[in-house]
Structure 1
Amino acid sequence: MSYSQSRFRPGVLAEQVVLITGASAGIGDALARQLAQRFPGIRLVLTARRQERLEAIAEACEKAGADVLTIPADLTDATQVVALTEKALAHFGRVDVLVNNAGYGQMGSLELIPQSAVERQFAVNVFAPVALSRALIPAMREQGGGHILNLSSIAGVVAFPLGGAYSASKFALEALSDSLRMELEPFNIAVTVIEPGPVATEFADVAKAQIADLPDPLGTPYQPAFETFATLEDQLEKQMWTSDRVATVVIKALTAKNPRPRYTAATGGDVLVFLMTKLLPTRWVDRFWQRFYGIDKMMNGNKP
């Protein structure tokens, strides 16, 4: 039996084809390299918009013993999503694992975020994973199973000020993952969510760039909150995980024969989520985040 005709075996990564989106940096980059190093012979499909960066990562993975296909693509373009899946299936004959890792954070007060920016946030963080999953589910079902792993965030369970658009996209991804998990279990297709906390990646730089594109908050009621937000990266530095550390959690999920629905990749993440969503009164949680993000300065009348 050829590789493309073999049945899917959960957790046996060395025999699988793994498609990783957002593979040109951060968690996607780290995951590709770790998979190549730990599972020689693994087949990787790496996609992102930056072709030169993809090729550099592919070269490193190939040196470690992986068989790599790079496909530059903009996942907000439906035609490119279809082309991506068709190329992957034509090249390797199958895709066993889909890692929906591509994403970014649109930060800012909702009042100041243009509608187009909110729509793009959902296009990247929600609609692209939906499109890729829909495109690959038939092939996974035919080959006897597969695994869809969605990179969410602690912000997909706990919302905070200035992160409404981002959290909404991740909350949506969590709900979609839950529905898919139940729908696809009869076909031996697992669906898993990874929930990182702060990670030392390009995420913060991209978030700052997105904020810079918003209307200037100076002179608006939100100025104190934006000023506080600009200092948060330094405060969170000690809590930040590396991309490699998050990638090890992803691999833990991918190598499990019976993967859990969710894996938290944050220091004290499980405790934080329990406190914020189950134990503490909502008003207390609101006040905590309002102080943390400088909303309390607005409430106290310290307006620009």
Structure 2
Amino acid sequence: MTKKVALVTGASSGIGEATARELHRRGFTVYGAARRADRLQRLTGDGIRAVAMDVTDDDSMRSGIAEILADSGRIDVLVNNAGYGSYGALEDVDIDEGRRQFEVNVFGAIRLAQLVLPHMRERRSGTIVNITSMGGKLHTPLGGWYHGTKFALEALSDCLRLEVTPFGIDVVVIEPGGIATEWGGIAAEHLEETSGGGAYKAQAAAIAASLRSEANANRNSPPSVIADAIGRAVTAKRPRTRYAVGFGAKPLIAARVLLSDRQFDTVISRATGLPRE
């Protein structure tokens, strides 16, 4: 029986690396993608195939998909994991940086879906997994561009699911909570560079401290929790449309539904230690 083939973007570390390993363990032929293929050496040593792919470059994405199809003849699973968090006050973040945040987190994911869908439709099967965040359902201060991308990807995933269901294709959204990766530290550094010295410096200091909090880090779930959810989703006969997994995901999403906007604002402000007037 021909092995099913999976493409995982952002596979050089964190959730992407864990997912590539989990799908390989489950018997998939796995292609791990990153801008620099040399950063995937840990994976290639374990039998996972490396693909150099920049999700902001159309030629790079086309070339990567063509390489996989020429090599394996099929793509059964696409895991859109590549992304980052651009933090800073909306007043401070350069508009070009806002555009880049959408290019990486949204347009790259949908463009890859466009590229794999003709092959999935031809086979009348396939699964597209979009990694959003609990931040695609709720908001935090100084994370407007990041949350905007995740809210957008949630909506696009819902529309895509309706469009491709008649062709036997599943669209699954994964909504991670707090995960123990480098993401928080990188976002905190970007926040301090962007808003650490201006009108929003007090807020920036509070949010950066929250992102780096050792207490949060100790509570955060390992990337394997997300990888396992993805593994279950892509092997299920009828996967759920959404999987909220990892520290805080389910209770915070539920709180956002139950509380009013003002009430939720208060909860988030207190949780992140924002200064008050």
Q: Normalised by the shorter chain, which TM-score bucket?
A: over 0.9
- The residue number in structure 2 matching 1:285 is 264
- The residue number in structure 1 matching 2:87 is 107
Residues 79-130 of structure 1, C-alpha deviations (whole Å, 9 max, x = no match): 1111111111111101000000111101111111111110110000000001
- The residue number in structure 1 matching 2:17 is 29
Q: CA deviation at 1:272?
A: 2.0
1:55 alignment partner, one of 41, 49, 72: 41
1:102 is paired with a residue whose SS is coil
Contact 1:109-1:163 at 8 Å conserved across structures: yes
Distance across 1 between alignment mates of 2:189 and 2:4: 37
User: Where in structure 2 are the equivalents of 1:211-250 lying within 5 Å?
Assistant: 211-214=191-194, 217-218=196-197, 220-232=198-210, 233-234=212-213, 235-250=215-230
Contact 1:103-1:125 at 8 Å conserved across structures: yes
Q: CA deviation at 1:226?
A: 1.1
Q: CA deviation at 1:38?
A: 3.5
2:31 is paired with a residue whose SS is strand
Identity of aligned residues (%): 38
Give the TM-score taking structure 2 as reference length: 0.94
Q: CA deviation at 1:188?
A: 0.4
Distance across 1 between alignment mates of 2:99 and 2:208: 24
- The residue number in structure 2 matching 1:6 is none
Q: Read off the aligned partner of 1:43 and give its amino acid letter.
A: T
Q: Read off the aligned partner of 1:282 and give its amino acid letter.
A: D
- The residue number in structure 2 matching 1:190 is 170
Contact 1:224-1:294 at 8 Å conserved across structures: no
Q: CA deviation at 1:244?
A: 1.2
Distance across 1 between alignment mates of 2:179 and 2:249: 13
User: Where in structure 2 are the equivalents of 1:1-304 lying within 5 Å?
Assistant: 3=2, 15-39=3-27, 42-60=28-46, 62=47, 68-214=48-194, 217-218=196-197, 220-232=198-210, 233-234=212-213, 235-277=215-257, 279-295=258-274, 297=275, 299-300=276-277
Q: CA deviation at 1:53?
A: 2.0
- The residue number in structure 2 matching 1:12 is none
Residues 23-81 of structure 1, C-alpha deviations (whole Å, 9 max, x = no match): 11001111112222332xx2111110132221321212x1xxxxx43111211011111
Relative distance call for 1:212 and 1:290 in structure 2 (3 A) is closer
**Rg: which structure is higher?**
1
Alignment coverage as a number of residue pairs: 275
In the alignment, structure 2 segments of 5+ residues that lack a partner are none
Relative distance call for 1:268 and 1:229 in structure 2 (3 A) is closer
Distance across 2 between alignment mates of 1:94 and 1:236: 41
Contact 1:98-1:149 at 8 Å conserved across structures: yes
Q: CA deviation at 1:264?
A: 0.6
Give the TM-score taking structure 1 as reference length: 0.86
Q: CA RMSD of the aligned region, Å? A: 1.6
